Structure 1
Amino acid sequence: MSNPLDPMRGLYGQAICPPVSPATVNQPGEAAPRTEEGKTFNDVLKDFVNQVDQTQQKYDDAIGAVERGESDNLHRVMLAQGQAQLSLKLAVEVRNKLVDAYKEVMRTQF
């Protein structure tokens, strides 16, 4: 009989995460594991940074068009500004979480 208070089991006794054999864990210097789509964490992070950059470029293009007199659609500019601001805040928070996680890993090693 399994222990009902086992921290690796959910409310109904189902495993929260499947057990991992030591053979499947990457050793230092090995290639990073790929996601189901074949992307590594590095690829996902690059895509995220590119999306933030594209959002900033949209805002720059919209504000530039208004400044040059090519457009008078201030609503579009304000939406682009809000999206750019929100995506930048998200990027900063993701960076903060990654730095915190790195610091935590460095504290746990001896």
Structure 2
Amino acid sequence: MINSITSVQPSQAAGAARSITPAEAQESFKDALSSALNSVNEAQRQSNIATEAMITGKTDNLHQVMIAAEKASITLQTAVEIRNKAVEAYQEMMRMQI
């Protein structure tokens, strides 16, 4: 699950940005991205498990299966849109003249 950033106060964020090295920022970004992708993967895995349980007759709760499938779909769509925005931002930076 992607964590909210609302708990970070502006003064904390500004102070942290000044004292963090580029390597630390890169590592932090990598960890956040990895965590988010693991959350997407877990939602997909849970959806597959629920669907398989429904197909094999281990459960008859269609509502839970559909909720798991929709959650997986929404998390995947969100990840794709974030990727698209990141690619757009990268392309825009590459077009900038120095």
Q: What TM-score, normalized to structure 1?
A: 0.66
Q: How many residues align?
A: 83
Deviation at 1:109, TM superposition (A): 4.6
Alignment correspondent of 1:105 = 93
Q: Distance in 1 between matches of 2:20 and 2:97?
A: 17
Kindly state the Cα deviation for residue 97 of structure 1 after the two structures are TM-superposed: 0.5
Structure with bigger gyration radius: 1
**TM-superposition CA deviations, 1:52-94 (whole Å, max 9, x none):** 0000001000000011111111010010011011101100100
Which of 65, 79, 91 pairs up with 2:67?
79
Find the aligned partners of 1:95 and 1:55 in 2 and give their Cα distance.
Answer: 18
Q: Whose RCO is larger (CA < 8 A, sep 6+)?
A: 2
CA distance in structure 2 between the aligned counterparts of 1:98 and 1:42, rounded to whole angstroms:
14
- CA 25–84 in structure 1, closer or farther in 2 if over 3 Å, else same: closer
Q: How does 1:38-57 map to 2 (within 5 A)?
A: 40-57=28-45
Take 2:93 and 2:61, find their aligned partners in 1: how far apart are those partners?
48
Aligned counterpart, 1:66 = 54
Deviation at 1:31, TM superposition (A): 1.2
Residue 3 of structure 2: aligned partner: none
Q: Which stretches in structure 2 are left out of the alignment for 5+ residues?
A: 1-12
Among 13, 23, 28, which residue is 1:31 paired with?
23
The runs of at least 4 consecutive aligned structure 1 residues that moved more than 2 Å come to 23-26
Equivalent in the alignment of 2:76: 88
> Percentage identity across aligned positions?
39
Q: Which has the higher helix share?
A: 2
